[in-house]
Structure formats: C-alpha cells, structure tokens
Amino acid sequence: MLVEAEIWTVARTDQGNAVLIKPVGSETAVPIIIGQLEAQSILIGLGNVPMPRPLTHDLILSVLSQFKVNLERVEITALKDETYFAQLVLRLKGTRIVIDARPSDSIALAVRHHCPIFIAEDVVEEAGIPISTIADQDKSIINPKEKEHQELNAKLEKMIELENYEEAAKIRDRLKELEED
C-alpha cells in the first residue's frame, strides 16, 4: 500500500547525497542515495530558483504540458537489491499512464510541478530510519536554503570571473531575497 510522503531534507552521507522521504505524519524517513546533479536539481526545485535556461526536469514538464499530459503524482514503489524504483503517474484525456522512472528524477519533477509523492509502506518498513537518529547527525544535513545560498555564491563568483555582470546581478538579487526570508 502507498502512503503520501514529503521531502524531509536533502543530506550528505558517507555514501554520497541522499534525499530523505518521510511519510506524512511519520517520524521515519527513507534515505535514497542520489547523484550530485540530481540533488542539485531537487534543491533548485525546492527553492524555486529561477534558471536562465530550462533544466532537464523543467524541459520534461514543458513537453508534458504542451501535449496536455498532467503529472498527477510520483510513486516510490519498491526497493530491490539496494535499488529504489519509482513511477510517474500521468493523465492524458482521462487515461492513466504509468511510466517507470528513477526516484531522483521523479522527485525533481514532483517538487517543480507541486504534485504529491507517495511511497510504499513496505519500502518504509525496510529502509526507513528514525528521524531522531538523523537529526543527531546535524552536520550531514543540508538545509535547502543554505545549500541554495552556497550554490548561488559559487555561481556568482563564476559569473564575475567570466565578466558576465548581467547574470551576476541576477544572482546577487536572488541572494538578497534569500537573506530577507
């Protein structure tokens, strides 16, 4: 059975980056190891960071929209041999379409489209860890706003180095917005 879930946080672990998915109202989170680019894409989506050009996940949503396909929900359905499986549940003219996808891509789409995320209860039972255990390891947790701030500062330095002052000004303005929040 699937239960509604949410992104609790994105974290660094000994194994790399992880997105922690928590069933709504639960004190357990499932860490899903993801790549750096996927973590960055999820954080950009969570922070609603405007990008000068569409990223892959933005492109996918744009294509779906042009073809009048609605992304209804994302489902994390299974864990087999340390690999998580997910599905995109789409709707086209009343027809339900289910597409196999990586959890990291599914989550990156969900945060941009603001659609619900569901996770299989047996996945939570098998791979879930108490949030209190994770919270004790504060140093490995990446706060999405802090991560965005770090990434924007790095981009700002790069734009200044490249003498792209127009883009640098946009990044500076976004940094000011973050500081005001």
Write the burial class of residue 20 (CB in 10 Å: 0-12 exposed, 13-18 middle, 19+ buried): buried
Q: Which two tokens stand for residue 153?
A: 């500062």
Q: Is the pLDDT of residue 95 over 50?
A: yes
Judge whether 28 and 6 are in contact, CB under 8 Å.
no
Distance of CA 130 to the CA centre of its chain: 20
DSSP 106-172: HHHHHHHHT--EEEEHHHHHHH-EEHHHHHTTGGGEE-HHHHHHHHHHHHHHHHHHTT-HHHHHHHH
Which residues, 6 or more positions from 34, have their beta carbon under 8 angstroms from its beta carbon?
16, 17, 18, 19, 42, 103, 104
pLDDT at 141: 47
- Reported as a single tens digit per residue, the pLDDT across 110-153 is 999 999 999 999 999 999 999 888 765 544 444 556 667 777 87
175 or 6, higher pLDDT: 6
Phi, psi of 84, deg, nearest 5? -90, 150
* Maximum C-alpha span of the chain: 54
Helix axes 36-46, 56-66, angle to 10 degrees: 60
- Reported as a single tens digit per residue, the pLDDT across 98-109 is 999 999 999 999
Containing 3, the helix (H) or strand (E) segment is strand 2-13
Distance of CA 25 to the CA centre of its chain: 19
Mean of pLDDT values over 28-36: 94
In the chain, the percentage of residues whose pLDDT exceeds 90 is: 60
Task: Give the separation between CA 148 and CA 143, rounded to whole angstroms.
Answer: 9
